[in-house]
Structure 1
Amino acid sequence: LMLLTFRGRKSGKRYTIPVGYMQKGTSLYLFSHAGWWKNLPDQQVIVRLRGKELHGTAKRLEDKQAIAEMVQQSIAQRGEAMAQRMGLMEYADPNRPGPLPQRTKFFEIKLDEQEAEHAARSAQ
């Protein structure tokens, strides 16, 4: 888990929530079934990760291939049973016909350059 801090898009209020994540290089990936996701796209965020506070920019993922890779990584790390319980299996195939279901939103947080180097080193 990491702590994700962001501002409400209308209120400007600061929120901090615990979220699961996956890391690939200098990017963090997460998904949400809850409504707080509306605050994230293209916003500067702060994450507390392995005892360090890091800054980055959140971007919504909508590309089927990128989402499928994220889900496949989650399956590899946490197992297929966990992915099924989390409702992710229908996102695992990038060749799935039709649009993706809309109930789950996927995000990439690109960490700021200097901090990204630290995160990549500490993930090893």
Structure 2
Amino acid sequence: MTEPAIDTQTPEALLRVVNPTLRLALKTPLGGFLGDFMLVAFTGRKSGKEYAIPVSAHRLDGELYAVAEAQWKYNFRGGAEAQVSHRGKTRTMRGELITDPPTVAGICERVAASYGPRKAQRQMGMAFRDNRLPTTTEWEEAVTRLKIAAIKLTSKA
């Protein structure tokens, strides 16, 4: 069996150390220097619990996206309000969960291409076989297998 073209590479131990620091820094003016990241704070749909998740910030066509395979993404199904701290500013935004595999694959493919293979792996928390950009077909397979979704964040008017 061949190794998948795309897999996750989330070092849990590292995240336990880095995430608390990012949570604090992204809410301050220091967050202006951390443009590759954002803090998405929201209330759980079912639990009512408050969450603050540091994630990579991806820009496509002037729009802000998060790409995630983690379960917290489902809190944005049907749309949800979030406080987004990015580039040293916090603003109220609306997050919309995108789960359609071809659409998510297209977003992932464009995000990865905008970074190049080395930075894309780091920013997206993924490993690409042979350290090359995956094809559209490989993205579609990975989106389905890993349950990757995108969250589009738009300013509230």
Q: What is the TM-score with the length of structure 1 in the denominator?
A: 0.69
Match of 2:113 among 64, 73, 76: 76
Instruction: Tell me whether 1:12 sits opposite 2:34 in the alignment.
Output: no
Shift of 1:87: 5.7
CA 1:39–1:91 in 2, change beyond 3 Å: closer, same or farther?
farther
Q: Deviations over 1:38-69 (max 9, x none)?
A: 21221111100111111111111134553243
Structure 2 stretches of 5 or more lacking a match? Answer: 1-36
| Number of residue pairs matched by the alignment | 112
The answer on whether the counterparts of 1:67 and 1:92 sit within 8 Å (CA) in structure 2 is: no
Structure 1 stretches of 5 or more lacking a match? Answer: 114-124
CA 1:16–1:91 in 2, change beyond 3 Å: closer, same or farther?
farther
Comparing 5-14 with 24-33, greater Cα deviation is found at 24-33
The answer on whether the counterparts of 2:59 and 2:111 sit within 8 Å (CA) in structure 1 is: no
Q: Deviations over 1:52-89 (max 9, x none)?
A: 11111111113455324322332223222444961687
Matches within 5 A, 1:2-81: 2-25=38-61, 27-41=63-77, 42-81=79-118
Tell me the percent identity. 25
Q: Give the structure with higher Rg (CA).
A: 2
CA 1:76–1:102 in 2, change beyond 3 Å: closer, same or farther?
closer
Shift of 1:14: 1.1
